[in-house]
Structure 1
Amino acid sequence: MINFFSETWLLWLLLLTGGSLFWASRNSQYFHYVFNRFLMALVALLSVSIIVFSLMEVLPGDCAEKWIAYKSTQGEMITQADIDAERARMGLDQPLPVRWGEWVTGLTLKGDLGFSCSKRQSVNLALGDRFWLSFMFCIAGLVLAYVIAVPFGILSAYVLNKPWVDHNPQHGSLKRLLNTLGLGLAKISDVMLRIVSYLGLALPNFLLALTIILLYVFAGEPTPTGLFSDEWRSEPWFNESGFQWGKLNDFLGHIWLPIFVIGWAATALQLQTVRALVVDESSKLYVDAARARGVDGLSLWAKYPVRHSISPLFNSVGFDFQRVFNDLPIVALVIGLTDAAALLIEALAMTNDQELAAAILFLVALVVISMNFITDIVLAAVDPRVRKSVMGG
């Protein structure tokens, strides 16, 4: 009995979560909304699993043919019977619905992502920590994007209609001079940020990575490709003297490149998004009403347009993660990473490992749907506008 529960832990976790939300939803409109969102997330994941697994079937050839082709390069004589036997051994001779059913059943019951025919081991072992490494890259890139885009996007919107020079006759000459200097710096910063954002949207991430690597080459410095230099790659994190800070420094000297590169385009896009949201909110009637009541300056912007512009931005975190991950495979190949994004390219373009590719794509969809689920229920709890729209009050 203990083995049964331990092997089907994911199913029981889903049932326990769904049962708890259903019980709470009987007397709470908010938890009724959360329970409905939970069911919608499960249906979305089931639909994604069908789409992803079906798309993998469109790829020419299969993993059995790739494996047999490799063996033939080693001098072995391969016949069609050998290919059919290998396909039967891998279960590739079964109809698509049967193979999808076995895959999704193992995934639902115990979190088993299937068997990687190219790695000759389970997908869970083949991925190992690679997916979490890709997840860390994407989250760090998003954090970098939001830390830069939110304050500077607000600044850009704030100075959009501001003059370069303070001509207010009610201000003294010294105050006008100081205000003019401040406005000039803000306007120059806005222009520079807009140029940077346009470059970020126009310049491909892989080209930025190649440019940085070439700059290191021209400077005669070791390129920060991979996760570690040759000196520290095989060294453990701990030795007889304790933690090796040199390996940590070497890791930090390499990890900034993928984070910066994948965060580059996200930062540029979020700068434009934040600026557009705040400018749109600042032109609404409730802001004019607050200004008529005497609220002005940064206090007006912080309480009204900025505050109401954050919710749509927060609700797009899941889609931003997907957009960042879409850029990661090419960047990973250029920089020489061995994370899940690089493994996805290998599975799709080199080995036709359908289950490995499907597992990685499904995990990305799982993260996106989970983030959207979390942001939806958080916004419904803290934003009265969302509560009124989704729960009627």
Structure 2
Amino acid sequence: MIAESISNFFADSWLLWVLLSIGSLLWWSGRDSQYFNYVFNRYLLALMTLLIVSGIVFSLMEVLPGDCAEKYIAYKNTQGETITQADIDAERARMGLDQPLAVRWARWVTDLTLRGDLGFSCAKRQSVNLALGDRFWMSFMFCMAGLVFSYLIAVPFGILSAFTINKTWTDKNPQHSKTERIINSIGLSCQKVLDLVLRIVSYLGLALPNFLLALTIILLYVFAGESMPTGLYSDEWRNVPWFGADGFSWGKLDDFLGHIWLPIFVIGWSATALQLQTVRALVVDESNKLYVDAARARGVDGVALWAGYPVRHSISPLFNSVGFDFQRVFNDLPIVAIVIGLTDAAALLIEALAMTNDQELAAGILFLVALVVISMNFFTDVVLAAIDPRVRKSVLGN
């Protein structure tokens, strides 16, 4: 009986023990290490930030009209039962909704901290964890794939755009022969045209809303007489298992890839445009600093100069903004999810806020987004302090 009680205690508070174990390990490592002491302090700061965010999110959700008791009673009323105000008050007392806001927030945070319980969804009539299921992970993968897509395009082409900003369209160097000037002029013109195209694309990405881009692509499919790539699968493959009697279903994988590119492309569209501008501005700013002129005076030139100095030092700020980029991409995902017909956490958030008024479900999704953003910022700070001498000197002092 005692062993079972202890087992149940740890099972009901597993998340708390995980957090305490990580904190204890970092504290122990930080006794003799300035770096791990910094990591431990950042860990505590991240937990405090999450606590503050939970209070803000919970308070904002409480501002919405109605509560779980009223929704539950309204549901029973639709089933033909006669409901009185006494029934509503009794249900509110049973759910603990008659308690002050601070008490209910403390209970919500306690359940969340002990075992990762995000509360009870009134509209879904089940826990928020079950209502979300794999949907949040689906949204997470969409956002991460969109970010990877944007970085793969924005970083190299943003560097190329910065590299060509001060170059001329033609080679007018009198020391070059006529043939060399023609060949160099062709190369310079191609680079300038590519830079011009990149600027136009980046401006379109910032000006054109993501949902409008999604609608445009869908309409193009309609005009071409092709099936729309909405949702994650076509109707014929939606209920087909991944592994059947004949083994892995390659047809379903092909159908999935034919649909998944659309949300990744659409949500990565504006992120790519913004990152193009950001990378270009960072590299141009670094290339105008004195240490680059000093390297050029020592004879360093060409790719070695750009890769070793302005580009290298421009990556750190970009890497440190991954968490905020994730939040920006997720902010675009709800409307895109509705347009494309996805059923991920972003679409569920719109449903909870605009249709069912499900505060607990909306609060759970918003908190998970904040958790991802804060976790990413924590890990980027830790990694940058380890690999970047400038950051290491600023935060560690040596």
Same fold by TM (over 0.5)?
Answer: yes
Answer whether contact 2:58 2:363 (CA < 8 A) is retained: yes
| 1:73-84 superposed matches below 5 A | 73-84=78-89
User: Could you tell me how far apart the structure 2 residues matched to 1:86 and 1:229 are?
Assistant: 43
User: Could you tell me how far apart the structure 1 residues matched to 2:40 and 2:77 are?
Assistant: 54
Q: CA deviation at 1:75?
A: 4.3
User: Could you tell me how far apart the structure 2 residues matched to 1:32 and 1:390 are?
Assistant: 11
Picking from 322, 331, 340, the partner of 2:327 is 322
Picking from 105, 113, 116, the partner of 1:111 is 116
Answer whether contact 1:66 1:352 (CA < 8 A) is retained: no
Q: Counterpart in 2 of 1:297?
A: 302
Residue 334 in structure 1 maps to residue 339 in structure 2: yes
Scaled by the length of structure 1, the TM-score of the pair is 0.98
Picking from 114, 122, 125, the partner of 1:120 is 125
User: Could you tell me how far apart the structure 1 residues matched to 2:337 and 2:93 are?
Assistant: 34
Residue 33 in structure 1 maps to residue 38 in structure 2: yes
Q: CA deviation at 1:3?
A: 2.4
SS at match of 1:310: helix
Residue 221 in structure 1 maps to residue 226 in structure 2: yes
Q: Counterpart in 1 of 2:286?
A: 281
- Residue identity in the other structure for 1:322: Q
Answer whether contact 1:63 1:351 (CA < 8 A) is retained: no
- Equivalent pairs counted in the alignment come to 393
Residue 147 in structure 1 maps to residue 152 in structure 2: yes
- Greater shift in the superposed pair: 219-228 or 56-65: 56-65
- Residue identity in the other structure for 1:223: M
Which consecutive segments of 4 or more residues in structure 1 shift more than 6 A? none
Q: Counterpart in 1 of 2:3?
A: none
SS at match of 1:124: helix
User: Could you tell me how far apart the structure 2 residues matched to 1:57 and 1:215 are?
Assistant: 43
User: Could you tell me how far apart the structure 2 residues matched to 1:350 and 1:65 are?
Assistant: 15
Q: Which ranges in structure 2 are unaligned for 5 or more consecutive residues?
A: 1-5
Answer whether contact 2:71 2:122 (CA < 8 A) is retained: no
Answer whether contact 1:227 1:254 (CA < 8 A) is retained: yes
Q: CA deviation at 1:84?
A: 2.3
Picking from 41, 49, 60, the partner of 2:54 is 49
| 1:55-74 superposed matches below 5 A | 55-74=60-79
Picking from 358, 382, 391, the partner of 1:386 is 391
Q: Counterpart in 1 of 2:363?
A: 358
Residue 20 in structure 1 maps to residue 5 in structure 2: no
Q: Counterpart in 1 of 2:143?
A: 138
Q: Deviations over 1:181-209 (max 9, x none)?
A: 11111100100110010010011111111
Answer whether contact 2:54 2:109 (CA < 8 A) is retained: yes
Scaled by the length of structure 2, the TM-score of the pair is 0.96
Q: Which ranges in structure 1 are unaligned for 5 or more consecutive residues?
A: none
- Greater shift in the superposed pair: 149-158 or 96-105: 96-105
Q: Deviations over 1:185-237 (max 9, x none)?
A: 11001001100100100111111111111111111111111111111111111
SS at match of 2:45: helix
- Residue identity in the other structure for 1:334: V
Q: Deviations over 1:341-379 (max 9, x none)?
A: 011111111222111111110100000000000000100
Q: Counterpart in 2 of 1:258?
A: 263
- Residue identity in the other structure for 1:64: A
User: Could you tell me how far apart the structure 2 residues matched to 1:334 and 1:62 are?
Assistant: 29
Picking from 178, 187, 194, the partner of 1:182 is 187
Name the Cα RMSD after superposition: 1.2
- Greater shift in the superposed pair: 364-373 or 95-104: 95-104
SS at match of 1:171: coil
Q: CA deviation at 1:66?
A: 3.1
SS at match of 2:300: coil
Answer whether contact 1:63 1:352 (CA < 8 A) is retained: no
Q: Counterpart in 2 of 1:196?
A: 201
Answer whether contact 1:90 1:117 (CA < 8 A) is retained: no
Residue 245 in structure 1 maps to residue 250 in structure 2: yes
SS at match of 1:92: coil
Q: Deviations over 1:59-94 (max 9, x none)?
A: 122233234334444544333223223333333222
Q: Counterpart in 2 of 1:3?
A: 8
- Residue identity in the other structure for 1:227: L
- Residue identity in the other structure for 2:334: P
User: Could you tell me how far apart the structure 2 residues matched to 1:211 and 1:258 are?
Assistant: 13
User: Could you tell me how far apart the structure 1 residues matched to 2:88 and 2:177 are?
Assistant: 88
- Residue identity in the other structure for 2:273: A
User: Could you tell me how far apart the structure 1 residues matched to 2:242 and 2:104 are?
Assistant: 41
